[in-house]
């Protein structure tokens, strides 16, 4: 009997020792992050780890801006982008608790003017559908209404224009990430709560949770003494670019925060939505609902974490890792910054990675390394895996673009190209508005009327196809412009298709159906 007890005690001590030693050593993590900065050419990264209700790691590395060279730290503000979606769904769940909303309310109950391409889908589209990426529309459909910044689209325009976006699949059959539905979800919150989305998030969630440095949108940040500048790789070199986010899309990705506040948010969530002062902000039933699978996703064969399921809940991605631990997570991306937020509630583990350069390989390297240390995986050298992948991917995209522009140079001397009179004029799309093609000083210009930053050169590729080379090279989103011509040889319509796969999906030029009107 004594021997049995002794064996059991040793077993418990072994488990306890594993848990104590599971955390990656601080110096090892410091070195990894420094190497990550260099490998992926990221100016600045801040990282936080929450374990068992305690912030066990919270640091910044590199610089918040290539211009001012000031150090990145745990208090540096970063736009967390789509990590805002969890806040939007939490807010809607609070309205369910208040009896003002049901997840399965028809959207038209709260927004009567809401209309989609298909009449039946319009009548049956619910609030739950708004936030689960199963509308039937394609990836990023309509994102050009808020992306990039500098356009004149408002929330009312988004509501009015989604009816022109043709579905790619049947309703509720396929996951396709959609920001505009979250914008409309933010409008639902506004109409039933009487507060703007920004006011609700700050006063009803951030303040009681204790997120003292966070704001619901970039324009609400008054103290910008410790905030990042955005950066991206342009023409083979990382450069600083202006902050880019339309206030129209705040409910989809507007929040600005830092590592400390996001760790506070993670701690609150893993404490069953109870604040540090003991106040419950959401019922256990509604909080449980947020993390239930709504839209399934396929688990890749050979998944690194032996996952059995994957999908989207209400504002969160969900999966299981190594032996059934539930993982709740999301990523976020703006022009010039990407972020990652990961929780494994069963281990009371939260991992935050905020960056100021739009390369997701960096946050995956850090998050996976930290996660592995707590899950008991041996060093799998994510830095090399993602580093090699990143190098090959950039080379692949660069080679595509080089090949296309080599053909453009050859096409410039083609004597059979259309005359300017055959293609110049105004082309219009139902939801995006007018695109103007002009010819001056022996060159073509293409310009959006409503999104003025989308301006560039129109260069020949062949007799029916041109290339739109945007003036803002940080977009990295050049597209083919394919013309159709009438019997007289005059262009009557045009469609677009991105040149290289690196193009951000929110540059959804491929969804445009441009008809020439003059």
CA dist., res. 348 & res. 418, Å (int):
64
Q: Please say if the pLDDT value at position 16 is more than 70.
A: no
Q: What is the per-residue pLDDT for 320? A: 97
CA dist., res. 90 & res. 291, Å (int):
11
CA dist., res. 26 & res. 387, Å (int):
22
**Residue range(s) occupied by CATH 2.40.128.600 in the chain:** 398-516
Mean pLDDT over residues 402-425, rounded? 97
CA dist., res. 295 & res. 313, Å (int):
7
pLDDT tens per residue across span 238-290: 999 998 889 999 999 999 999 999 999 999 999 999 999 999 999 999 999 99
pLDDT tens per residue across span 86-107: 999 999 999 999 999 999 999 9
DSSP conformation class of 106: B
Q: What is the per-residue pLDDT for 244? A: 87
Outline where DSSP puts E strands in 127-285. Answer: 230-234, 237-241, 256-257
What value does the CA radius of gyration of the chain take, rounded to a whole number of Å?
Answer: 25
Q: Which CATH number fits the domain 398-516, given the four candidates 3.80.10.10, 1.10.1740.10, 2.40.10.10, 2.40.128.600?
A: 2.40.128.600
Q: What percent of the chain stands above pLDDT 70?
A: 96
pLDDT tens per residue across span 359-368: 999 999 999 9
Q: What is the per-residue pLDDT for 309? A: 95
Mean pLDDT over residues 378-386, rounded? 96
Question: Which single residue is written with the structure tokens 């790619």?
Answer: 168
Question: Which single residue is written with the structure tokens 């745990």?
Answer: 74
Tally of CB atoms within 10 A around 419: 10
Q: What is the per-residue pLDDT for 5? A: 35
Closest CA to 344 of 310, 323, 371: 371
Tally of CB atoms within 10 A around 327: 22
Task: Provide the pairing of β-strand 455-460 with 465-470.
Answer: antiparallel
Q: What is the per-residue pLDDT for 23? A: 80
Mean pLDDT over residues 206-217, rounded? 98
**Residue range(s) occupied by CATH 3.40.710.10 in the chain:** 28-380
- Measured at the CA of 350, the angle between CA 221 and CA 264, to 5 degrees, comes to 40
Q: Please say if the pLDDT value at position 6 is more than 70.
A: no
Residues forming a β-bridge with 456? 446, 470
Q: Which strands sit side by side in the sheet containing 325-334, from one edge to the other?
A: 54-62, 44-51, 349-355, 337-344, 325-334, 317-321, 310-312, 295-296
Q: What is the per-residue pLDDT for 22? A: 57
Q: What is the per-residue pLDDT for 18? A: 37
Question: Which single residue is written with the structure tokens 């082309």?
Answer: 427
pLDDT tens per residue across span 344-356: 999 999 999 999 9
Overall residue count recorded for the chain in this entry: 518
Question: Which single residue is written with the structure tokens 């290289």?
Answer: 500
Cβ-based burial of 21 (10 A; exposed 0-12, middle 13-18, buried ≥19): exposed
- The distance in angstroms from the start CA to the end CA of the chain is 94
Looking at 7-16, 125-134, 485-494, which range is the least confident one? 7-16
Sign of torsion over alpha carbons 364, 367, 371, 373: positive
Helix axes of 26-39 and 360-375: crossing angle, nearest 10 degrees? 160
Mean pLDDT over residues 200-206, rounded? 98
Closest CA to 183 of 145, 136, 214: 145
Question: Which single residue is written with the structure tokens 């004594």?
Answer: 2
pLDDT tens per residue across span 419-433: 999 999 999 999 999
Phi then psi for residue 460, to 5 deg, are -70, 145
Q: Which CATH number fits the domain 28-380, given the four candidates 3.30.450.20, 1.10.357.10, 3.40.50.720, 3.40.710.10?
A: 3.40.710.10
The residues near 342 (Cβ < 8 Å, ≥ 6 apart) are 327, 328, 329, 350, 351, 352, 367, 371
Q: What is the per-residue pLDDT for 64? A: 97
Q: Please say if the pLDDT value at position 473 is more than 60.
A: yes
Token readout for 432 is 């995006």
Q: What is the per-residue pLDDT for 302? A: 87
C-beta of residue 350 within 8 angstroms of C-beta of residue 329: no
Mean pLDDT over residues 439-456, rounded? 97
What is the average pLDDT score of the chain?
Answer: 94
């Amino acid at each position: 009997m004594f021997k049995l007890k002794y064996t059991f005690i040793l077993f418990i001590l072994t488990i306890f020792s594993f848990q104590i030693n599971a955390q990656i050593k601080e110096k090892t993590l410091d070195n990894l992050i420094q190497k990550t900065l260099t490998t992926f050419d990221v100016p600045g990264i801040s990282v936080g780890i929450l374990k068992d209700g305690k912030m066990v790691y919270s640091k910044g590395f590199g610089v918040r801006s290539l211009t001012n060279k000031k150090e990145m730290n745990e208090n540096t503000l970063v736009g967390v982008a789509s990590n805002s979606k969890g806040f939007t769904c939490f807010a809607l769940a609070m309205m369910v608790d208040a009896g003002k909303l049901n997840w399965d309310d028809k959207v038209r109950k709260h927004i009567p003017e809401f209309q989609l391409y298909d009449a039946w889908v319009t009548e049956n589209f619910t609030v739950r559908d708004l936030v689960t990426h199963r509308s039937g529309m394609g990836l990023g459909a309509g994102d050009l209404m808020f992306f990039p910044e500098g356009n004149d689209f408002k929330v009312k325009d988004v509501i009015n224009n989604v009816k022109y976006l043709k579905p790619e699949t049947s309703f509720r059959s396929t996951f396709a990430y959609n920001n505009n539905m979250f914008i409309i979800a933010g409008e639902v919150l506004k109409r039933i709560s009487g507060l703007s989305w920004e006011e609700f998030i700050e006063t009803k969630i951030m303040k009681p949770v204790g997120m003292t440095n966070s704001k619901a949108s970039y324009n609400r940040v008054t103290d910008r003494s410790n905030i990042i500048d955005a950066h991206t790789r342009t023409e083979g070199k990382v450069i600083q670019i202006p902050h880019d986010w339309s206030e129209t899309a705040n409910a989809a990705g507007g929040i600005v925060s830092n590592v400390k506040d996001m760790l506070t948010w993670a701690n609150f969530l893993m404490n069953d939505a109870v604040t540090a002062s003991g106040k419950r902000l959401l019922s256990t039933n509604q909080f449980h609902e947020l993390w239930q699978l709504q839209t399934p996703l396929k688990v890749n064969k050979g998944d690194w974490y032996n996952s059995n399921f994957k999908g989207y809940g209400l504002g969160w991605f969900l999966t299981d890792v190594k032996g059934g631990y539930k993982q709740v997570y999301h990523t976020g991306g703006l022009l010039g910054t990407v972020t990652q937020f990961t929780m494994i509630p069963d281990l009371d583990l939260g991992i935050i990675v905020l960056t100021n350069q739009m390369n997701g390989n960096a946050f995956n390297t850090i998050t996976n390394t930290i996660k592995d240390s707590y899950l008991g995986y041996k060093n799998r050298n994510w830095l090399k895996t993602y580093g090699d992948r990143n190098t090959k991917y950039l080379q692949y995209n660069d080679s595509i673009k080089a090949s296309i522009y080599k053909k453009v140079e050859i096409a410039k001397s083609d004597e059979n190209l259309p005359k300017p009179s055959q293609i110049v004029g105004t082309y219009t799309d139902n939801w995006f508005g007018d695109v103007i093609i002009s010819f001056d000083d022996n060159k073509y210009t293409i310009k959006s009327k409503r999104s003025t930053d989308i301006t560039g050169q129109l260069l020949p590729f062949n007799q029916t196809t041109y290339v739109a080379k945007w003036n803002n090279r940080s977009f990295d989103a050049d597209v083919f412009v394919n013309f159709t011509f009438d019997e007289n040889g005059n262009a009557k319509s045009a469609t677009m298709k991105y040149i290289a796969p690196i193009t951000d999906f929110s540059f959804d030029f491929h969804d445009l159906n441009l008809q020439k009107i003059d």
